[in-house]
Amino acid sequence: MKLPHFTYSFNDLKLKHRLILIIIVVAATITGFTLFGFNYVIHQYNKLLYGQTANSLSFVSDELMYQLESIETVSSYIAYGSAFQENLAVCSTSKSSPLPAQKARNEIIAIFNQYYTSDMVHLTTLTPNGKKIWWGKTSYSESEEATQRLMEACDNANGRLVWRPSEKGARLLCARKILKVKNLSLKPMGYLIIEIDLQDTVQDILKSRYSNGQHFDLFISSGEQLIYPADNESYLRHYQKLFSDTQPYAIKNIDGRRMFITFAKLPVENGTWRISLAVPYDNIFHSINRLIPVFVFSLILSISIATFLAGRIVKNISYQFNMLVEKMERIKKEGIMKPQAALTPSTNSQDEMTILNASFDQMVVE
C-alpha cells in the first residue's frame, strides 16, 4: 500500500490544524537551534579553557623541569669535580689519620655549601666504607630499605641521574653513583644524594605565575604513587585513572565542585611522571552559570508569549473562516437565503478574512 505524500496529508488538514502545526514546527525549530547554539558556545568555551589551562600547565611544567635540570647540573658539577673526588677519596680511606680526614670532610661541606639553594633539604654523600657527609637543613633520614633500593637504582644507572620520591612527603631524591676514571676504568667512590623540597619549589613557581589568588589544585604523580602533594585522597579517588592519551582534559564533579582537569607528562624517568592541573569550572564560568536559568526562563517566556499570540491569530482566522464555510454549507443545503446579520466592513480596521466574510454576505444579498 502506497503511503500518501506528506504534502497531500498536510493539505488535507483543516486550516486551524495547519496553523497550529506550523506554529509547533517553528517553535521547535527555534528552540532546537537556540539550544544547539548555546551548547556550541559552551563547547567552544571548554576548548578555550583547555587552551588556557594547558598553557598554564605548560608554564608550570617547564619551570619545574628547569628547576629539576638545575639540580641535575649541580649534581654533575659536584660528583665529577676533581676537588670533591680528591677529598672524598681521603674521607673514604680508613688508613687516613683523623686530621686529614676531618679537613677533607670540611672541604666537601664547603663544596656542598657553595651549591646549596633554598629548595634543597640537604646534600649527602654516602661513602663505600659507610660514612655519611651531609650539609643542609636536616640530615639524610631515609630507611635502610629505601636507601638500598636507591643505591641499586644508581648502580643500574651507571653514573646517570636517578629520581625517586622520598618517604618524607612531598620531597624528591636526586641521586647518582660517583665514578672516578682510573687506569681507563671507572672506580666507584660512593653516592651523591640531593633531597629537594618539592612543596617549596612548586609553591614558588605558582606564586610567580598566579599572584591574583586564583585557586586550583596541582598534582604530580609517578605511576601509581602521588609525589605532590604528599597526601591527597581526592587525587587517589578521582584523578589517578582519569586521563588517557586521547583524553587531554575532563570535567568532573569532585567533592561538590565541578573541576576542569588537564594533564601533561614530565620528561622524568622515561616520561612516567605526570603533572595534573584542576581548575574550579563553576568559578570561571560563574557568569555563564548565572545566565543559564535566565536564558531558559527567557526562552520559555518568549515561546509562551509567541504561542499565545499565534493562538489568538489562529482563533481569529479560523473563526472567520469557519463562519464562511458554514454559510456556504447552508446555501448549499437550503439555497440562497438572507444572512442573519449584515456585515459592513471597514477596511481600515478589519482584517482580510473579516472583509471576505462581509463581501460574501453582500454577494448573497445581491
Query: What does DSSP say about strands 217-222 and 225-228: parallel, antiparallel, or unpaired?
Result: antiparallel
Place of cell 654533575: 76
Contacts of residue 328, defined as CB under 8 A and 6 or more positions apart, other chains included, come to: none
Place of cell 664547603: 110
Q: Is the pTM of this model over 0.95?
A: no
pLDDT of residue 126 exceeding 70, the answer is yes
Tell me what pLDDT residue 59 has.
79
| Max Cα–Cα distance, the chain, nearest Å | 141
**Cell, residue 255:** 567533592
Least confident of 41-55, 71-85, 235-249: 235-249
- Of 203, 190, 172, 2, the C-alpha closest to 78 is 190
Tell me what pLDDT residue 334 has.
67
CA distance 269 to 250: 26
Tell me what pLDDT residue 95 has.
61
Contacts of residue 308, defined as CB under 8 A and 6 or more positions apart, other chains included, come to: none
Give Rg (Cα) of the chain: 41
- Of 45, 37, 55, the C-alpha closest to 284 is 45
Tell me what pLDDT residue 213 has.
46
Tell me what pLDDT residue 343 has.
44
